[in-house]
Structure 1
């Protein structure tokens, strides 16, 4: 089924916007509960991720960056957006203690979420499998569709992680000033 080129372009833009918003939305709840008692850090990291996400939206929806030549650049932007969470994770580990952080069940879920997002972006950027078997994956199982499967799986993993983090944080009661 052929699609009107302008509609295809608009849907493509919405796709990038949705991915960026989902990534931003993945970070904000984690930041809220992880820095629950450290409001300045929570605000700084939240603003940072929102601004970075908005930059991804702006760049990935500009016509000059939407050509095939910029496919890897766009994928790299979204990988950078996802990896920007390393800084608050390190801060959290320093704040809560390394052992407490690495033994948290939620951390494993967050690492799995990141691995799913990055794997999907790499598959998309490398155009696997259609690059390896030209013509065989023109309709089904192309890299873009596989990428979306990884994104949905990452979102489900993230939901589980946030539920665990929220339950753990809220069970601690009031914040205490150091």
Structure 2
């Protein structure tokens, strides 16, 4: 029955409908006007795709885990793969718009998080890495993915300052997103609230459901943050030196 509750949480209808509406507004008309370049559409598509695939695979796991041990193991691996895709898909828009006028750091950091994402997917799907002796490696890969945002953040602070980080990069929304992820992970790791109410949260309001609820809310928060970043970047202008660099790279 607890899996039934998880399926309902993961199939939260407003999420998918909102993602569809948000995607339509971004890719068609939306806030940024009808002349949105294909690059911008692809950048947002990484986030939409990662969110839908992550929640979809998690829904499939909680629906099919009771089928058999082998099926449960397969979809458990796919569930972890979906988490990796969501992390990568969330980082790409932030890096793209954070370093919008600087090609080299933008490509470097997107490449870095993509490589970490591939490593996390390999660790998630390869049976060898599911052994208990590789648990530190699995944990290290996912922690590395989560902490990979620290390096571009420090880079941006050094080059542009803390004020620009919050005003131009909507960093306050990303901090709220990180808080929601950490809150969900903390509830899940400590098994709160069922540890305080044994037998009362077997179906509803258990830590696993609350964790996924935090992930859903964090996805909305992240979307709002990267939309704010995109609006400021697309309605602003790059410095002269950055424009000259971009023009040279396009020739």
TM-score, scaled relative to structure 2:
0.61
2:105 to 36, 41, 44: 41
The reply to whether residue 17 of structure 1 matches residue 17 of structure 2 is no
Contact 1:78 1:121 (8 Å CA) reproduced: no
Cα distance change, pair 89–26 in 1 and its aligned pair in 2 (3 A): same
List per-residue Cα deviations over 1:12-59 (Å, max 9, x = no partner): 112111111011000001111111111110111011111112222222
1:177 partner SS: helix
How far, CA to CA, are the matches of 1:134 and 1:9 in structure 2? 27
**Unmatched runs of 5 consecutive residues or more in structure 1:** none
- Of structures 1 and 2, the one with the larger relative CO (CA 8 A, separation 6+) is 1
Contact 1:79 1:118 (8 Å CA) reproduced: no
* Pairwise CA RMSD: 2.9
1:31 to 92, 95, 107: 95
How far, CA to CA, are the matches of 1:105 and 1:43 in structure 2? 17
What's 2:237 paired with? Answer: 173
Aligned residue pairs, count: 178
Contact 1:82 1:114 (8 Å CA) reproduced: no
Cα distance change, pair 119–130 in 1 and its aligned pair in 2 (3 A): same
How far, CA to CA, are the matches of 1:75 and 1:116 in structure 2? 20
Contact 1:75 1:124 (8 Å CA) reproduced: no
What's 1:123 paired with? Answer: 187
What's 2:210 paired with? Answer: 146
How far, CA to CA, are the matches of 2:97 and 2:234 in structure 1? 8
How far, CA to CA, are the matches of 1:67 and 1:24 in structure 2? 25
List per-residue Cα deviations over 1:120-144 (Å, max 9, x = no partner): 2333334434555555544444433
Contact 2:116 2:141 (8 Å CA) reproduced: no
What's 1:112 paired with? Answer: 176
How far, CA to CA, are the matches of 2:132 and 2:196 in structure 1? 17
